[in-house]
Amino acid sequence: MCLQNYLNFIVYFYIDNYRTMKKEILIKLLNIAGFLAALYVNYLSVVTQLGGRSIRELSDKYANLFTPSNQTFAIWSLIYTLVFIFLIAQFLPSYKSTRFFNSYHFFISCLLNGAWIVAWQLEYIGLSLLIMFALLATLAIINQQADAEKLLLPKIVFGVYLGWICIATIANITTWLVSFKLTIPFSIQVFITLAILIVAAIIVAWIMKMLANPFLAIAVVWAFYGIYVKRMADVSEIAYTALGMGVLVLLSIGIFSIRPGVRKIQT
């Protein structure tokens, strides 16, 4: 009887591990497929210009005082490079048992990334904003998971990614408002943009505190610098406010994002 129980335990143990292994492999393959799909949609948006215009041309069409300089968008090269490193790291033995690397959230973020590009280039601005909110929420969940398991690499990768999407979401909101073609005096536009910059810096500082992730600051400060460069020639008060908010975000790293008594982070 004891032997039978032992054999049953062995059988169930291997069946359970086999199922777990199949799920792990499936998630890793989906992560790669999702990333490649997002890259392909990005490629199509540049080469075929879905909807007849490039992302940059549409940005210019719906330009507003919050829009950063064009070179600021080069940060996507850094984000995609970091994500590529993440995709390689998911196969390392040290990450095998972590719940973070056995989650479908990254795959979902890739689908949302591609869906946003399609909606944006077809000028479904309202839909693109909803997709952006979903992407923001998904990345926030990913960052929570990385913080819960004290995983350094994912905190870097998705901290930078989330930081940029925080700013992109605000930019998407301003674009949505511009799409209504409202007649707003320029002085009011300046005041609203100044308020948005201040609120954006406060929100980002709060998010860094909640997630204990200072890496959001990399993308956010870069975005504020892009606004500074874009507005320095015409609206200096916006330029200097953007620069000041970038400094505030950097200072908030030391004030908010370091928790006392944090366990050693897994590399």
pLDDT digits (tens, 9 = 90+) for 160-195: 999 999 999 999 999 999 888 888 899 999 999 999
pLDDT band at 8 (very low <50, low <70, confident <90, very high): very low
pLDDT at 41: 92
Bigger pLDDT: 127 vs 92: 127
**Amino acid of residue 219:** A
pLDDT at 21: 57
The residue-averaged pLDDT of 241-256 equals 89
The residue-averaged pLDDT of 199-213 equals 92
Identify whether the C-beta of residue 174 lies closer than 8 Å to the C-beta of residue 132. Answer: no
**Amino acid of residue 258:** I
Cα–Cα distance, 72 to 46 (Å, whole number): 17
The conformation of residue 257, written as its DSSP 8-state character, comes to: S
pLDDT at 256: 56
pLDDT band at 2 (very low <50, low <70, confident <90, very high): low
C-alpha R_g of the chain: 22
pLDDT at 231: 93
**Amino acid of residue 3:** L
pLDDT band at 197 (very low <50, low <70, confident <90, very high): very high
Does the pLDDT of residue 119 top 70, yes or no? yes
pLDDT at 57: 74
Tens digits of per-residue pLDDT, 61-80? 787 899 898 899 999 999 99
Does the pLDDT of residue 137 top 80, yes or no? yes
pLDDT at 97: 66
φ/ψ of 176, rounded to 5, equals: -60, -40
The residue-averaged pLDDT of 145-155 equals 88
pLDDT at 182: 82
pLDDT at 19: 53
Quick count: other Cβ atoms within 10 Å of Cβ 249? 25
Tens digits of per-residue pLDDT, 24-43? 888 989 999 999 999 999 88
Does the pLDDT of residue 216 top 50, yes or no? yes
pLDDT at 92: 83
Quick count: other Cβ atoms within 10 Å of Cβ 29? 11
